[in-house]
Amino acid sequence: MKFFRVLANGVPRLGEANDDLDSGRLYPAGLDAFDVISQPSAVADGDHVDLRTAELLPPIDVITIRDFITFEQHTVGALRSVAGDKGVPEAWYDAPAFYFTNPHAATGHNATVPVAPGSQQFDFELEVAAVIGKDGYNLSPEEAEEHIAGYMILNDWSARDLQRKEMTVGLGPAKGKDTATSLGPLFVTKDEFDDVTDGGFLNLHMSVSINGQELATDSLANMAWSFPELISYASRGTWVRRGDILGSGTCGGGCLAEMWGWAGTTTPAPLQRDDVISLTVERLGTLTNFIGEPEPIHEIPKARRRPFTPPVPWAPAQTAEL
């Protein structure tokens, strides 16, 4: 099944796309994708929607987004650009790293995405996301595979200049990442990929174009960990819940920062107003967005420095022997 969502008369409505991924029809109001998966008697026989021109919502209500970094080529190139030529830390190979991004900034297909305020190096990221279909706790990779409901395209918009500066503090990205995350155009259920899945890896062709010119291609099969392995790690000692979204991380060549890292220059140029970015993944369709003007910046002061005295080193009191 191939789901989309759209605002119809001001109300979010679920729809099902046709096999060509270019149009679809709406379900009755009040249903979401998980309702239809669990109640397959529901029929999408409502209004027709042209998916090529309609502005869509994210295909599901976004609760959480964990975004991983699992493509080695991207990791090497992007770190050269964002973190300097320090190489890939050994910790990257030990476990799949991720960060939580802003669910309130999720947007859909054909939406306008503003440049992050204050950024001169706005960038896209070509990814695929797995969607959790049922709650799970501390799952093994084998168990985690059964918790995947399906997949969608994810664009992790990134302000590289903001990201580069704020990550020197020692925390993950913040304002460099949370202006927008685009999702869609479709949420396609897992059964649609059985014939291209091998050992948990999906062999799907991925590509990105700027203003109609193809920039890079890769395969989703080049992930260093499979989605079940990512979900297992994400659920270690905690819960993953129905509707959680887990991004694959950017594929090889799937962002400008990686290309800047390899080239040593900001070529191709950062994104500008009116640029059109299209991410295409086999069987998942094409997710297109338009670049808009940034919001104004409301300045805040630099840190107020205050005198402080470091604490005296603490040691436990010695217990007298009886």
The per-residue pLDDT for 320 is 62
The per-residue pLDDT for 83 is 75
pTM (global) more than 0.75: yes
Q: Helix crossing, 256-263 with 72-82: angle to 10°?
A: 70
- Give the amino acid at 144: A
The per-residue pLDDT for 314 is 84
Mean pLDDT by 10 residues, the chain (322 residues): 96 97 96 93 94 97 97 93 80 97 97 98 98 98 98 98 92 93 98 96 98 98 98 98 98 97 94 98 98 96 94 80 61
CB atoms within 10 A of CB 37: 17
CA 190 to chain centre: 18
- Domain 58-292: CATH superfamily is Fumarylacetoacetase-like, C-terminal domain (3.90.850.10)
- Report d(CA 309, CA 233) in Å as an integer: 40
The per-residue pLDDT for 172 is 84
Nearest to 88 by CA among 104, 103, 70, 105: 70
- Give the amino acid at 16: E
- Report d(CA 159, CA 69) in Å as an integer: 17
Q: What angle do CA 196, 107, 40 make, to 5 degrees?
A: 50
The per-residue pLDDT for 40 is 80
Nearest to 195 by CA among 204, 187, 186: 204
